[in-house]
């Protein structure tokens, strides 16, 4: 019987030991955080993830031991995007992962601000040259080049206008800035109506004529072009200008004094060639003429004494009219500053009830002055017209 008891006791102990080992071997790794949690951080801010801890739990959680061996894989570069960090705890020959989903997002709108005043008053007829704005984004850096400007200011009419500058960063965040412009009549300005202005452009067409036509379109202003036969590639502008209602008039085919002023006959050869070209482009022959250098030029003396007198009479006898100008813009050597050119023309407009203005559509700085001239003129009651058969002409005194 004694032996039997020992056997039973041994069996019980064996079972208990086996049970104990079994229970102990059932230990598990438990993290302090939930798996697959999403963590979101704003771009540019510190990425601070919660501390990861793990313990090894045994005997139904009654026995716990912290795990020191936790390794991390995956890297967050700081750039916007989705990342995964995996923490691995290892103990007792067991392994467990904890995954963290991390996203770096950019929800910060760019900063945008106007240069100069955000609100300003502009005198009627004067153009405010936009000082622009700057835009800076926390993620994209300087994005001023991406700014879209909208809104129109009519400097010829009193009113309050808004120019809106908007920008969108690469994450789609938008920002905008506004400049408020009030166009107001100067109280000291007189109310008297302005006169008639004939803007005329010599020596073209050129690469700049297209730009000029766009400005004229914007204000529906018609002008007169005294064209040449030079620069064949831009003759399309003669056709375009004519179709848009501008007047095409004759300057010189060659604009070469030694050719067109060497004799009356040579003058007519040059002019007829030009008029043939104009006819081909516009379907109309022109009768309005401006002489290279003006009718008062003396350079022609070098090629033929008395030729200007002969030409002017001959033109009239043959049914042509020639015109000089009574307002010089100064763009033929006087100045290359658009502001000064506009100032010269505006002064001339004030001084002449009928102004015939000389400009050249071969000079970029002169084209740049045109909008200021038109805006000031329209705001002050002037009428811009293209020269026609019936319009007035001015003659300088002939000196050769
Ligand atoms: Zn000329």
Dist. CA 338 → ligand 1 center (Å): 19
pLDDT at 24 > cutoff 90:
no
What's the whole-number average pLDDT of the chain? 94
* Backbone phi and psi for residue 14, each to the nearest 5 degrees, phi listed first: -60, -45
Dist. CA 324 → ligand 1 center (Å): 11
At residue 151, the pLDDT reads: 95
pLDDT at 1 > cutoff 60:
no
Torsion region of 242: left, alpha or beta (phi above 0 gives left; psi -120 to 50 gives alpha): alpha
pLDDT at 210 > cutoff 60:
yes
Dist. CA 217 → ligand 1 center (Å): 24
Dist. CA 383 → ligand 1 center (Å): 25
Dist. CA 229 → ligand 1 center (Å): 12
pLDDT band, very low/low/confident/very high, at 362 (cuts 50, 70, 90): very high
Kindly compute the dihedral angle of the four CA atoms of residues 147, 153, 159, 162, in this order, to the nearest 10 degrees: -10
Q: Where in the chain is the domain with CATH 2.60.40.10?
A: 29-105, 111-184
Lookup: tokens for 45: 């801010």
At residue 18, the pLDDT reads: 87
pTM metric for this prediction? 0.76
Dist. CA 222 → ligand 1 center (Å): 20
Average pLDDT over residues 62-71: 93
pLDDT at 22 > cutoff 90:
no
At residue 232, the pLDDT reads: 96
Q: Summarize pLDDT for 323-359 with one digit per residue, the tens.
A: 999 999 999 998 999 999 999 999 999 999 999 999 9
Dist. CA 214 → ligand 1 center (Å): 22
Report the interhelical angle of 264-282 vs 307-317 (nearest 10°).
50
pLDDT exceeding 90 applies to what percent of the chain?
87
Cβ-Cβ contacts under 8 Å for 292 (sequence gap 6 or more): 251, 252, 255, 257, 260, 261
Dist. CA 255 → ligand 1 center (Å): 7
d(CA 148, CA 112) in angstroms, rounded, equals 12
Dist. CA 328 → ligand 1 center (Å): 13
Please, are residues 359 and 366 in contact by the beta-carbon 8 Å criterion? yes
Q: Summarize pLDDT for 158-205 with one digit per residue, the tens.
A: 999 999 999 999 999 999 999 999 999 877 666 667 899 999 999 999
pLDDT band, very low/low/confident/very high, at 236 (cuts 50, 70, 90): very high
Average pLDDT over residues 103-129: 94
Dist. CA 126 → ligand 1 center (Å): 30
Pick the CATH number of 29-105 from 2.60.40.10, 3.40.50.970, 3.40.640.10, 2.40.50.180: 2.60.40.10
Dist. CA 198 → ligand 1 center (Å): 17
d(CA 169, CA 272) in angstroms, rounded, equals 60
CATH H-level, domain 111-184: superfamily: Immunoglobulins (2.60.40.10)
Dist. CA 353 → ligand 1 center (Å): 25
Q: Where in the chain is the domain with CATH 3.20.20.370?
A: 196-384
Dist. CA 230 → ligand 1 center (Å): 11
| DSSP tag of 300 | G
At residue 123, the pLDDT reads: 92
Most confident of 11-15, 301-305, 386-390: 301-305
Dist. CA 226 → ligand 1 center (Å): 8
Dist. CA 291 → ligand 1 center (Å): 7
Q: State the DSSP H helix or E strand holding residue 41, giving kind and residue range, or none if neither.
A: strand 37-42
Dist. CA 149 → ligand 1 center (Å): 38
Report how many helices (DSSP H) and strands (DSSP E) the chain contains, helices first. Answer: 8, 22
CATH level 3 topology of 196-384: TIM Barrel (3.20.20)
Dist. CA 376 → ligand 1 center (Å): 26
Dist. CA 292 → ligand 1 center (Å): 5
Dist. CA 228 → ligand 1 center (Å): 8
At residue 389, the pLDDT reads: 85
Torsion sign, CA atoms 134, 136, 141, 146: negative
Dist. CA 347 → ligand 1 center (Å): 23
Dist. CA 307 → ligand 1 center (Å): 17
Asked if omega into 205 is within 30° of 0 (cis), the reply is: yes
Which of 333, 391, 383 is closest to 358 using CA atoms?
333
């Amino acid at each position: 019987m004694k032996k039997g008891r020992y056997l039973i006791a041994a069996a019980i102990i064996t079972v208990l030991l086996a049970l104990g080992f079994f229970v102990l071997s059932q230990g598990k790794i438990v993290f302090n955080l939930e798996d697959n949690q999403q963590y979101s951080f704003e771009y540019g801010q510190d990425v601070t993830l919660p501390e990861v801890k793990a313990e090894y739990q045994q005997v139904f959680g009654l026995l716990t031991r912290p795990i020191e061996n936790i390794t991390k894989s995956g890297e967050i570069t700081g750039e916007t995007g989705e990342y995964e960090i995996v923490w691995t705890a290892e103990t007792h020959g067991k392994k467990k992962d904890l995954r963290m989903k991390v996203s770096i997002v950019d929800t910060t709108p760019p900063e945008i601000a106007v240069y100069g005043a955000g609100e300003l008053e502009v005198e009627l007829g004067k153009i405010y040259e936009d000082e622009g704005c700057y835009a800076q984004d926390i993620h994209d850096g300087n994005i001023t080049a991406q700014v879209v400007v909208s809104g129109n200011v009519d400097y010829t009419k009193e009113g309050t206008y808004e120019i809106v500058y908007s920008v969108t960063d690469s994450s789609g965040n938008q920002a905008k800035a506004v400049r408020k412009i009030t166009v107001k009549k100067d109280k000291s300005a007189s109310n008297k109506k302005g006169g008639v202005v004939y803007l005329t452009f010599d020596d073209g067409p050129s690469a700049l004529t297209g730009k000029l036509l766009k400005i004229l379109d914007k204000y529906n202003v018609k002008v007169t072009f005294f064209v040449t036969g030079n620069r064949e590639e831009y003759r399309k502008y003669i056709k375009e200008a004519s179709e848009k209602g501008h007047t095409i008039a004759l300057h010189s085919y060659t604009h070469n004094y030694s050719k067109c002023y060497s004799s009356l006959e040579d003058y007519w050869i040059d002019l007829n060639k030009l008029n043939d070209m104009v006819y081909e482009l516009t379907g109309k022959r022109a009768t309005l003429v401006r002489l290279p250098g003006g009718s008062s030029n003396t350079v022609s003396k070098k090629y033929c004494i008395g030729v200007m007198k002969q030409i002017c009479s001959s033109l009239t006898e043959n049914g042509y009219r020639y015109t000089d100008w009574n307002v010089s813009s100064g763009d033929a050597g006087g100045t290359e500053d658009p502001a000064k050119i506009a100032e010269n023309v505006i002064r001339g407009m004030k001084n002449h009830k009928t102004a015939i203005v000389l400009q050249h559509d071969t000079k970029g700085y002169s084209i740049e002055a045109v909008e200021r001239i038109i805006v000031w003129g329209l705001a002050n009651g002037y009428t811009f017209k293209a020269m026609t058969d019936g319009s007035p002409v001015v003659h300088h005194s002939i000196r050769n």
